[in-house]
Structure 1
Amino acid sequence: MDDREVETGNSSDSRNGNDVLLSGTGTLGEDAVRVDPGTSDPERRGNGLVDSGATAGPASRPGSPPEPDSAMQVDQPHEATRGPPPASNGDPSALVADGIHGSTPMELGILSPPSQGSIAVELAEHYWALRDHRLYCLDGTWVGEVEGEQKEEEEIVSGKLSVEARGLVSGRPVEKDTLELQTEIVHEFLESFYMKYGSFIPLSEADVLEHLKKNCDLDLSPRRLDIPGEVRRYRAGLASVPVAGFMLTCNKHTLSLEDLGTLEEQNWLNDQIINMYGEVIMEATQHKVHFFNSFFHKQLVAKGYEGVKRWTKKVDVFSKWLLLVPIHLEIHWSLITVHTVTKTICYYDSQGIVFKHTIDNIMKYLQSEAREKKLTNYQKGWKMLIIKGIPQQKNDSDCGVFVLEYCRRLSRKQPLHFSQEDMPHIRKRIYKELCDYRLND
């Protein structure tokens, strides 16, 4: 097809004013039709569309005489050449070359509103869209895509959509969304953790990682997010804002943040922590194990049996399968256990020190208690053992933690498999168990 420009009115610019060009090249070719926007014929102007049944105006094909009553002239192929559209193998240019109905393409001139500029439209693109129109209009064609978009939006709101999918939907880099999502989740977790435990003493990096794994599907590589750094920054922001009035209470035992602070790093545990943890152990064993108060032995030494007789007035100690007696001698903690079934008294010390008089004191107490309760079977026949080969501390600050871990494992009939290296983790776990009032697995 020989393309060439057609003058409009008095101007030589083919895109001037209200002309609309439709062709494969954006210009008027020899088979193209121009509609004069200046015509006063309403049938020729209408709403900007010209009926293809009209005849051509002054800008008809070269060599064809103009007809005064014609609005448009279209080359009509010979009746013998009409037939189905030729196969194009997906090549739009072949369709333009062969034409829509036959060997000659049909192009329509469209009159745009006067306020708009020139518009160029490629015939081939619109022809393909028209050919596919039947498919677009079929019921259910777009249902799957619409439902998929709705599902994606719901998953974004609920937080279930993967980070990669969020990146695609939001149009933002996945790496950036991943870091922001991780940081947001970490901060939310730290806030709830701080309110629950009153401090970050029991917090570990493993807690944060576990929370991230449960709440989002993303790569937890340390290179993506500096978790220790985020925790330090968050803690620094709350350093001067402690949880006001934080207090734990259980069976007349009360723990403050100052008491819980003795579980941090290498501080010495105080009596409040020892006694409260004993309450947690008794609750966990459904009171089949009895834990004596840490002041029991001191009171027994100071005032004898009469001074502690009322301490077990409502408790039948011989109905328990295990008795746990923490021994506090000035700056050191030890443990004495009593197995009532075998009538065995055992001594545990994390430094290998043996205070034999403490064992004698507990045996005399048991004999006196048996006489008070008129249980002749427990008035004699007791055995005393010094337990060797148990975990030992390698410093002078963890004896209280070792005693509590002895108690925990013995009350659950678990082997004493732990060491000094486990102390940081055990301290954090004890803190959480006190706040949760249960022994965690």
Structure 2
Amino acid sequence: MGAMTTNRKRTEECMNVNLTNSDSSRKRSKLSTKPAPSATSAVARLSRYPQVSAPLAREVHAPCRPTKFPLAARVSIRVGDAMGNALITKFEKAKRSTLEKCRSVVEKGKEVIVVDAESDEPCADSSVEEPHGDGDKFRVQQQSQSTLSFDSELRNAELKVASRGKLWGSETQLDVESVHAYKKLLEDVGRRNGTFQRLNFEIDLNEKRRDHFNLLRPKKELDEESEALQEPFVALSSEEEDEVERAFSANRWTILVTHEHSNIEITGEKFQCLRSTGWLNDEVINLYLALLKEREQRQSHKFLKCHFFNTFFYKRLISGPNGYDFKSVRRWTSQRKLGYSLLECDKIFVPIHQEIHWCLAVINNKDKKLQYLDSMKGEDSSVLEKLAKYFADEVKDKNGKDIGVNTWKKEFVKDLPVQKNGCDCGVFMIKYVDFYSRGLELYFDQVNMPYFRRRTAKEILRLKAE
């Protein structure tokens, strides 16, 4: 048994020797295909040195001081890459320095070519041949024709150095283009300087002539139209402001003013509606409309001839069973009471109270139309229909004439100032009346409401509208 075991082991060893010999012979036959380098060639000299490899990490079984400069060790390992080829190391170093210099230089008037320093791909202009041995020499050939041409262009062209070492990009190109465009604009303006100087001279000459002619003409008063436009916005004096403040601070039962013609009394309580957030009541509105009529009578040449119904007229007119009752308001406009007929008026103003909102209706006899004004741009066609019927009945009753009011235009005014809160509808309504009675357009706004409230308070306290 022992002999058999020994023979079996020897047989396996013999087989292993045969396999080893066959593999080594196969490898020698593969290497023999290449020409053997001579002993003096660069390849042979380089092959004598072993390839640099990272040292094995030493196991530490006791406390030790950590490495102060771990990065330096890594760098020292990388230095030996590329199989210790010193020529390739120098080539890479020269390549990096050249790229850094190229980055700081920009050729004037040409596109900037951004070179990627991290790209290792060969450039189309220059190529590096692979090292090959002829048995005696190791040659590295580099074509530098494009490099020489690039250097000559850099020397001959006008160059600009980028500020702070930054490469100009698309933003710099846009800035340069904008500068060129700006220069062109300046040149165009410079060509027109002569024309501008001539026009300025003519303007100055004409202004001097106008001033000379104005001195020769007799002095005139201010233009009536411009004065009329400024009248609705005359500021209150300090005395008037103090008077209004004292009225607001008065006792609620104190009678501040009494209007004899309309028999209206304004107490301290009723006067409070003219504060910034108050809702105007009937007494304040009716008294103000009566003051507007007195203003027209004082200065008839400045204002249109108008009639101002009070806030109770329309309620009485629609109080009938069918929503219309002419007889209930027939005596309101008698010739003996008014001294004129409604047919003689240019405009007739009718305040409309829509539950909790004030609106205005106008019978515009001058322009032959019926108008409805709402500071919230509402519409109510029934109001205009009833007023058209009333005016026809009124003219027929007082003047004995039939007028075709049904053919008049019914207009819901849209181009008008609108309120931006829930308390100024009454102030808007009385100012519609004020401006229309002056023959003016409605050129006020919500921002004027605080002033209009204090001005109305002043006019009521003095019983005089201005």
Structure-1-length-normalised TM-score: 0.45
Q: Which has the larger radius of gyration?
A: 2
Structure-2-length-normalised TM-score: 0.43
**Which has a greater percent of helix?**
2
